[in-house]
Amino acid sequence: MLLLINSISLVQFKNYPQRNFSFSSRIVGISGPNGTGKTNLLDAIYYLCFTKSYFTRSDSFNALTGTNGFRIEGQLEHNGENYKAVCILRETGKKEFMLNGNAYERFSHHIGRFPCVFIAPDDVRMITEGSEERRRFIDAILSQLDPEYLQRLMNYNKLLLQRNSYLKSVSENRLKDTSLLEVYDEQLSNDGSYIFEKRKSFMDECLGLVTGFYGKISGAAENIELKYESQLHKLDFAELLKSTRDRDLYLQRTTAGIHKDDIQILLNNQPFRNIASQGQRKSLLFALKLSEFEMLRSHKGFAPILLLDDVFEKLDESRMHNLLSWVCLDNDGQIFITDTHQQRIKEHLETLGALYQLIEL
Amino acid sequence: MQFSSSLLEDAVNEFARLPGIGKKTALRLVLHLVKQDAALVQSFGETVLKMRQEIKFCQRCCNISDADVCSICSNSMRRHEMVCVVENIRDVIAIESTQQYNGTYHVLGGIISPLDGVGPDQLNIELLINRVQKENVQELIFALNPTIQGDTTIYYIQKKLQPHSINITTIARGIAFGGELEYADEMTLARSLQNRVPVERFVNY
């Protein structure tokens, strides 16, 4: 059932004019000084799983400076079958994604086929910043597990844009007849209610995992709580939109709905964001990400690819060891780890006693 | 592009404004016209001009027409109690080519998409509602693209027509003819299963 990536070849991708890598082991360490392309290599792997970058929204930023297109080709293996995944950004800006030579008409159909979890230092903004990052976290997981969720989420977002644009035109043109709003409300509640139910049951499942991992990593008896905040707990979607109709018309945007959802994180009953230390934030980040990993594993029946970027910088020796032994030994999926110090990563992997491959950039 | 004649240049620029025509294609077309007999080109120009000046939109269904009422609406052999609602004139031509439809049409002139600046008021929706009120329309068939905007348009018109007891249907959505199941996307396939058809109806078709 194992999912493995055996090799990858990059053309004009970020800092790589042309380069091939082959991965011979389940555990792959990547070392090299700053700016040599460690993260870029991980991002290329992420591209093959998600058809897009983990970091930038615009594909054209990922082409080598001075060029306009790129190509990523990877050989993957799953269930004993081989797959060739190719992602091409043409010079015209058009992106193509092919699996075994067949081009996808919709990239969303590929997402979830090769599940993958990326942990990067910047992800800590998921805890410290606005609710959008946390919704993105939930959506990324659910989209990989449930294609219908992804489809409905995309529908919802399109409808939201249309509704907001309509709200603007109502006030600009002083329209009297707002019956089109009722249509949008119905369409939004149809997709929105599905998303809400999925998120709710997801959060119930997630809570236990996160507290478990947090305890394991921090080794401390801290009481972590996650609460799914949504206006839909109190009202159903149609009623909710009805109740905010006047305010929406006044503000010219949709002020209620699942696009306002959030996860509230509490540490010993106080907002985590306000009182947590750097170390606690990092422990929580790993707990959230490993829960994502675990959930994908249990729903898919096999371990996703795990991409760990620069994790050594962030945790002390013993926490690092706890984390590595869990991801490398208690889990049978493929892992990529980057570090600037070749010696340090080597020692860590050596003490685990598992087979590994070290790539030096 | 450098031109030796400003007459040529103007003509090329005009052609290049047409959809799907670039400068080079425009030049090829213009040079072709230059080689033609002057009389032929004159009739070409006059036909185009006459078309634009004299063309009308049917007052009833907004289809393109030579007279105030189009040939489909004025045809007494067609079933006037049945109206097929389409986005544009190209859709009328597509449905007419099936030779399976014997009702009339209503051309909306677009679909509701406030993002593109198209609200219900920009479309021929009022006209359709008037038509339903005045004429003896029994069935409205929506033949719009299966997109979110298409659905919005259908729901909107349906809501507007709620006081009237008419049959409102949409064309079937599902697996295309000659398509293979394994290549159909999940949503289409799921929809096809949900709206499956009894075999008797399928065979008698």
DSSP string for B61-77: T--EESSSS-TTTT-TT
The residue among A277, A300, A323 that closes a domain is: A300
Closest chain A residue to B118, measured at CA: A166
CB neighbour list of residue A50: distance below 8 Å, 6 or more residues apart: A111, A116
CB neighbour list of residue B167: distance below 8 Å, 6 or more residues apart: B138, B139, B140
Q: State whether A228 and A324 are in the same domain.
A: no
Compute the C-alpha angle A28/A30/A33, nearest 5°.
170
Best of B111, B115, B180 to disrupt the A interface by mutation (most A CBs within 10 Å)? B115
Token match 């070392």: residue? A31
Residues of chain B with C-beta less than 8 angstroms from the C-beta of A187: 148, 151-152, 155
When pLDDT is cut at 50, 70 and 90, the band that residue A351 belongs to is confident
Q: How far does the CA of residue B114 sit from the closest CA of chain A (Å)?
A: 5
Q: State whether A296 and A239 are in the same domain.
A: yes
pLDDT value at A218 more than 80: no
With both helix axes pointing from N to C terminus, report the angle between A147-172 and B148-160 in degrees, rounded to the nearest 10: 60
pLDDT value at B70 more than 80: yes
Mean pLDDT on A205-225: 83
Catalogue the long-range contacts made by A318-323 (C-beta closer than 8 Å, 24 or more residues apart): A318/A219, A319/A217, A319/A218, A319/A219, A319/A283, A320/A348, A321/A348, A321/A351, A322/A216, A322/A217, A322/A219, A323/A217, A323/A286
- Residue A121 belongs to some domain of the structure: no
The residue among A267, A300, A333 that closes a domain is: A300
Give me the domains of chain B, ranges plus CATH numbers: 6-54 (1.10.8.420), 77-201 (3.40.1360.10)
Q: Which domain holds residue A203?
A: 127-300
Tokens of B2: 């450098």
Mean pLDDT on A139-152: 88
When pLDDT is cut at 50, 70 and 90, the band that residue A348 belongs to is confident
* Mean pLDDT across chain B: 90
Mean pLDDT on A256-274: 89
CATH of the domain at A168: 1.20.1050.90
- Residue A122 belongs to some domain of the structure: no
- Residue A217 belongs to some domain of the structure: yes
Do A166 and B160 count as a contact with CB atoms less than 8 A apart?
no
Best of B111, B123, B152 to disrupt the A interface by mutation (most A CBs within 10 Å)? B152
* Mean pLDDT across chain A: 89
Whether the CB of A109 is below 8 Å from some CB of chain B: the reply is yes
Mean pLDDT on B84-95: 95
Residues of chain A with C-beta less than 8 angstroms from the C-beta of B120: 177, 180
Compute the C-alpha angle B76/B81/B86, nearest 5°.
100
Compute the C-alpha angle A252/A255/A256, nearest 5°.
145
- pLDDT in the model for residue B202: 67
Q: Do residues A189 and A236 lie in contact, with contact meaning Cβ atoms separated by under 8 Å?
A: yes
ipTM exceeding cut-off 0.90 for this assembly: no
Mean pLDDT on A259-269: 90
CB-CB neighbours of A356 under 10 Å:
20
pLDDT value at A314 more than 70: no
- Residue A120 belongs to some domain of the structure: no
Q: State whether A195 and A231 are in the same domain.
A: yes
Q: State whether A230 and A166 are in the same domain.
A: yes
The strand pairing partners of A97, in sequence order, are A87
Q: pLDDT tens digits for B120-163? A: 989 999 999 999 999 889 999 999 999 999 999 999 999 999 88
With both helix axes pointing from N to C terminus, report the angle between A179-218 and A278-300 in degrees, rounded to the nearest 10: 110
Task: Name the 3-class secondary structure at B189.
Answer: helix
- pLDDT in the model for residue A334: 93
Q: State whether A246 and A196 are in the same domain.
A: yes
Count of domains in chain A? 2
Q: State whether A295 and A309 are in the same domain.
A: no
Tokens of B27: 């030049």
pLDDT value at A185 more than 80: yes
Q: Do residues A221 and A202 lie in contact, with contact meaning Cβ atoms separated by under 8 Å?
A: no
- pLDDT in the model for residue A275: 87
- pLDDT in the model for residue B23: 92
**CB-count burial class (<10 Å; 0-12, 13-18, 19+) for B127:** middle
**CA separation, residue B8 to residues A282, A303, B39 (Å):** 69, 67, 18
**String of b and e for B184-199 (b: at least 16 CB within 10 Å)?**
beeebeebbeeeeeee
**Measured between alpha carbons, how far is A322 from B61 in angstroms, rounded to an integer?**
73
- pLDDT in the model for residue A105: 86
Do A162 and B117 count as a contact with CB atoms less than 8 A apart?
no
pLDDT value at A144 more than 90: no
Q: State whether A148 and A282 are in the same domain.
A: yes
Q: State whether A135 and A2 are in the same domain.
A: no
- Residue A360 belongs to some domain of the structure: yes
The residue among A300, A319, A347 that closes a domain is: A300
Mean pLDDT on B22-50: 94
**CA separation, residue A251 to residues A131, A164, A182, A186, A339 (Å):** 20, 10, 17, 20, 48
pLDDT above 90 as % of chain A: 47
Whether the CB of B148 is below 8 Å from some CB of chain A: the reply is yes
pLDDT above 90 as % of chain B: 70
- Residue A46 belongs to some domain of the structure: yes
Q: State whether A8 and A104 are in the same domain.
A: yes
Q: How far does the CA of residue B6 sit from the closest CA of chain A (Å)?
A: 33
Mean pLDDT on A266-286: 86
**CA separation, residue A141 to residues A36, A135, A212, A361, B136 (Å):** 30, 10, 19, 31, 53
Q: pLDDT tens digits for A233-247? A: 988 999 999 999 999
Compute the C-alpha angle B192/B195/B200, nearest 5°.
105
- Residue A290 belongs to some domain of the structure: yes
Q: State whether A348 and A288 are in the same domain.
A: no
Q: pLDDT tens digits for A40-84? A: 999 999 999 999 999 888 888 899 988 889 999 999 999 889 999
Q: Do residues A167 and A175 lie in contact, with contact meaning Cβ atoms separated by under 8 Å?
A: no
pLDDT above 70 as % of chain A: 99
Q: pLDDT tens digits for A22-31? A: 999 899 999 9
Residues of chain A with C-beta less than 8 angstroms from the C-beta of B115: 161-162, 165
Residues of chain A with C-beta less than 8 angstroms from the C-beta of B119: 166, 169, 173, 175, 180
